A and B are shown apart, each in its own frame.
Chain A
Amino acid sequence: MDIQLTINDISLKVPEGMSILDAARTVNIDIPTLCYLKLNEMHYNNNIASCRVCVVEVEGRRNLASSCSTPVASGMVVKTDSLRAIQARRAMVELLLSDHPKSCLTCAKNQDCDLQSLASELGVRHISYEGEESEFEIDKSSFSIVRDPNKCIRCRRCETMCNEVQTVGVYSAVGRGFNTVVKTAFDLPLHETSCTFCGQCIAVCPTGALTELDQVDKVWKALNDPNQFVVVQTAPAVRVALGEEFDLEPGTIVTGKMVGALRRLGFDRVFDTDFAADLTIMEEATELVHRIQHGGRLPLLTSCCPAWVKFFEHQFPDLLDIPSTCKSPHEMLGVLIKSYYAKTLGIDPKSITVVSVMPCVAKKYEAARPELAQSAETADVDIVITTRELARMIREASIHFDHLKDKEFDHPLGESTGAAIIFGATGGVLEAALRTAYEVLTGETLEKVEFEALRGMDGIKEAVIPIAGRDYRIAVIHGLGNARTVLEKIKAGESNYDVIEIMACPGGCIGGGGQPYHHGNMDILQARAAAIYREDRAKPLRKSHENLAIVSLYKDYLGEPYGKKAHQLLHTSYTARKKI
């Protein structure tokens, strides 16, 4: 049933149950918000009304109403721009600022902070309140995420993301009154909790309370060390998002400029994680066939996503035998650079630094996992930086990004197919796997390479694909809460899937925790996904097994896919971990 109300003298009708805020937005009336965040695509709704910034006047009501959490009522008369509302909003922000560090100039979120822009928007010119300021310890325990509770405004967006969307539950509001702050269980350092380091808390944090562990200086140091041969690789999702950092339209593909910038920054080789994505398909498809032929346990779960890997290690330690043993693509490329490529060049692997540019903060943690190293001194990947950190390096070097000439990746570990680029969007890994599996199993050419059923933002997508007389039951999942739903079914023996792709972040890697901030605009994620599929269509080769550099790699170095050498270099194992 529709409800009639008036907002700022505009009469409108909206469905019952809608908030005043959403109703106002239907007639282009903007009400400032801070803690409020709604992301329909991932069923995320944080409307706890803790900040009181969105208050409005409602006729006949004594106090101001928080528009994000107050539903419309019949005949309601709302004023969003009365002096009282405007002054109240400013007072709220001033109160928040009175207990907020004033170190904006050196904050990682400088010019990307919702609190900062709100203060500017509301015309806060001085802070009328003086009082106690919180003093919390900064948590730098993990390899991925830095928590600075002093910058926390108690909006609890991170908590909603972690508890309700990802179902990891690392954060909770702790204490009461002025002392309330979002913390971990028993104040444990993040590294000692079940945190998967997916970084979605960073993606929704309005301030600098949650940021990635910055590794930019480490990269600069390596680049300026004459004894180090510094190799960089870039993940598929970086090239469709990096442009946003330089004010290009979301969905602009900047592969060539990105490679150009990396050369300008001084990397000795610029390789493509897409190469290793093609390699992953060869290994994972062979692993699946091996499991089917030898009565192995099904379903096979993909293992490209380190946050997902850490999730099942903590939450489903009794299912460690079902994920694929394949290392994630950038780890595969790292180990190949330090073995195969080092041998080709005749360089000691110890003098090679591998830097991965990833849309992800969990990859930072992953690179530090002790089993992902050939020896204690030679980790497969040495440094991981996010898309945001790469943008920062480009700015620090005063490179005019939009004036850069397009450059190409180096050979041979920069060769890739369209199947590899789609790893960046949810469903891409399985679509790529199907392109290869079909041709390998049937011996026929696959004419229609696009599997539309596996694309899009639905949290759980299912399909049955017949190949060579067998039906393959597959599922594509993004978001850890959705993964939990399906894993519970597998545990209870209620599922009959053959293979499942799981990515921790909504939308897959394009929505990763290390990507440029979307500030709640989900159209940006859609634009990135569309760009991924455009880039795939533009590639002359679109099936991983057609990548000639991969064919030579097996012929000259690895031997058979899923063979002895491949196992030693490209596969890994998992550890049961405690749920905290």
Chain B
Amino acid sequence: MCDSASSNQFVQKLDGYIDSLTYKKENLIGVLHYAQEIYGYLPASVQWHIAQKLDIPSATVYGVVSFYSFFTMIPRGEHVVNVCTGTACFVRGAEKLKGELENQLKIKAGETTPDNLFTLETLRCVGACGLAPVMIVDGKVHGRMNEAQDINEVLAKYRPEG
């Protein structure tokens, strides 16, 4: 196992980032963020590579990855759709929004569409409570997502044309 990371072109980018850090071991979470940005997810091979590079046990890296819900070991779709389930959004219908997304995308939260286009996830308060309920697509916040039609229009922007 574990050798696929070194043959990957991404590895140079990741190594370059790690080399640029003054404090390496201390920056594990930052490194994992960066790696997930490049790879889209954190497979065991990438975690192992980071462990070697930072000179820490792979079990420690795995422990951190498993702890934070932001990190994923499963490949995600091209676009990540997040539903905020914080208190304000919850009160304003986050559950209904989540249900509608599951309905339109034909997947459950935590899953990826078969064409790898969308991954649906939930997260906690993003600080846009005034726009509740919100959904976040690839980091962009879309507010007042109460109507199926509005939700459909947002998703359509991320679908390939034609």
Interface residues of A (CB under 8 A from B): 163, 168-176, 183-186, 193, 578-580
Q: Which residues of B contact A172 (CB under 8 A)?
A: 57, 59-60, 62-63
- A sample of 11 inter-chain contacts (CB < 8 A) reads A169-B59, A170-B57, A172-B57, A174-B67, A176-B67, A184-B59, A185-B57, A185-B61, A578-B2, A580-B48, A580-B58
Interface size class of B (residues with CB under 8 A): 10 to 19
B47: interface (CB < 8 Å): yes
Q: Which residues of A contact B60 (CB under 8 A)?
A: 163, 169, 172
If A174-B62, A176-B66, A186-B62 touch, whether A169 touches B44 (CB-CB below 8 Å) is: no
Residue among B44, B52, B57, B66 making CB contact with A163, cutoff 8 Å: B57
Bound CA span A171–B52, Å: 16
B56: interface (CB < 8 Å): yes
In chain B, positions 39-81 with a C-beta closer than 8 Å to chain A are 44, 47-48, 51-52, 56-63, 66-67
Q: Which residues of A contact B62 (CB under 8 A)?
A: 172, 174, 183, 185-186
Bound CA span A183–B58, Å: 11
* Chain B residue nearest to A580 in the complex (CB): B58
In the assembled complex, the CB of B137 is this many whole angstroms from the nearest CB of chain A, namely 26
Bound CA span A163–B25, Å: 15
Bound CA span A183–B66, Å: 11
Bound CA span A580–B67, Å: 19
Residue among A175, A183, A184, A186 making CB contact with B47, cutoff 8 Å: A186
Q: Which residues of A contact B47 (CB under 8 A)?
A: 185-186
Q: Which residues of B contact A170 (CB under 8 A)?
A: 57, 59
Bound CA span A490–B52, Å: 20
Q: Is the CB of A171 within 8 A of B67?
A: no
Q: Is the CB of B66 within 8 A of A185?
A: no
Q: Which residues of B contact A578 (CB under 8 A)?
A: 2
Bound CA span A475–B57, Å: 27
Q: Is the CB of A185 within 8 A of B59?
A: yes
Bound CA span A184–B52, Å: 16
Interface residues of B (CB under 8 A from A): 2, 44, 47-48, 51-52, 56-63, 66-67
Q: Is the CB of B67 within 8 A of A186?
A: no
Q: Which residues of B contact A580 (CB under 8 A)?
A: 2, 48, 58
Bound CA span A489–B136, Å: 52
Total inter-chain residue pairs, C-beta < 8 Å: 52
Q: Which residues of B contact A171 (CB under 8 A)?
A: 59
Residue among A168, A169, A175, A185 making CB contact with B67, cutoff 8 Å: A175
Bound CA span A97–B56, Å: 34
In the assembled complex, the CB of B44 is this many whole angstroms from the nearest CB of chain A, namely 4
Given A183-B62, A185-B57, A580-B2; 20 other pairs, CB 8 A cutoff: A163-B60, A168-B57, A169-B56, A169-B59, A169-B60, A172-B57, A172-B62, A172-B63, A173-B63, A174-B62, A175-B67, A176-B66, A183-B63, A185-B59, A186-B44, A186-B48, A193-B59, A579-B52, A580-B48, A580-B58
Bound CA span A299–B48, Å: 32
Bound CA span A178–B119, Å: 26
Q: Is the CB of B63 within 8 A of A186?
A: no
Bound CA span A176–B69, Å: 9
Q: Which residues of B contact A169 (CB under 8 A)?
A: 56-60
* Chain B residue nearest to A186 in the complex (CB): B44
Q: Which residues of B contact A163 (CB under 8 A)?
A: 57, 60
Bound CA span A254–B58, Å: 43
Bound CA span A163–B51, Å: 14
Q: Is the CB of B48 within 8 A of A185?
A: yes
* Chain A residue nearest to B45 in the complex (CB): A186
Q: Which residues of A contact B56 (CB under 8 A)?
A: 169
Bound CA span A171–B61, Å: 11
Residue among A174, A193, A579 making CB contact with B66, cutoff 8 Å: A174
* Chain A residue nearest to B69 in the complex (CB): A176
Q: Which residues of A contact B67 (CB under 8 A)?
A: 173-176
Q: Which residues of B contact A168 (CB under 8 A)?
A: 57
Bound CA span A185–B58, Å: 6
Bound CA span A580–B56, Å: 10
Q: Which residues of A contact B52 (CB under 8 A)?
A: 579
* Chain B residue nearest to A192 in the complex (CB): B1
Bound CA span A185–B64, Å: 11
* Chain B residue nearest to A184 in the complex (CB): B59
* Chain A residue nearest to B58 in the complex (CB): A185
In the assembled complex, the CB of A440 is this many whole angstroms from the nearest CB of chain B, namely 42
Bound CA span A496–B46, Å: 38
Q: Which residues of A contact B61 (CB under 8 A)?
A: 185
* Chain A residue nearest to B44 in the complex (CB): A186
In the assembled complex, the CB of A163 is this many whole angstroms from the nearest CB of chain B, namely 7
Q: Which residues of A contact B63 (CB under 8 A)?
A: 172-174, 183
Interface centre among A170, A175, A579 (most CB of B within 10 A): A579
Bound CA span A193–B62, Å: 13
In the assembled complex, the CB of B140 is this many whole angstroms from the nearest CB of chain A, namely 28
In the assembled complex, the CB of B75 is this many whole angstroms from the nearest CB of chain A, namely 16
* Chain A residue nearest to B55 in the complex (CB): A579
Interface centre among A163, A173, A183, A186 (most CB of B within 10 A): A186
Q: Is the CB of A183 within 8 A of B2?
A: no
Q: Which residues of A contact B51 (CB under 8 A)?
A: 185
Bound CA span A169–B63, Å: 11
In the assembled complex, the CB of B17 is this many whole angstroms from the nearest CB of chain A, namely 22
Bound CA span A176–B68, Å: 8
Q: Which residues of B contact A185 (CB under 8 A)?
A: 44, 47-48, 51, 57-59, 61-62
Top 6 A-B pairs, shortest CB-CB distance: A169-B57, A172-B63, A185-B58, A172-B59, A185-B59, A186-B44
Bound CA span A173–B57, Å: 12
Q: Which residues of A contact B59 (CB under 8 A)?
A: 169-172, 174, 183-185, 193
* Chain B residue nearest to A173 in the complex (CB): B63
Q: Which residues of B contact A186 (CB under 8 A)?
A: 44, 47-48, 58, 62
In the assembled complex, the CB of B1 is this many whole angstroms from the nearest CB of chain A, namely 8
In the assembled complex, the CB of B60 is this many whole angstroms from the nearest CB of chain A, namely 5
Q: Which residues of B contact A176 (CB under 8 A)?
A: 66-67
Bound CA span A578–B57, Å: 12
Q: Which residues of A contact B66 (CB under 8 A)?
A: 174-176
In the assembled complex, the CB of B115 is this many whole angstroms from the nearest CB of chain A, namely 28
* Chain A residue nearest to B3 in the complex (CB): A578
Bound CA span A464–B66, Å: 49
Bound CA span A176–B48, Å: 21
In the assembled complex, the CB of A489 is this many whole angstroms from the nearest CB of chain B, namely 16
Bound CA span A186–B46, Å: 11
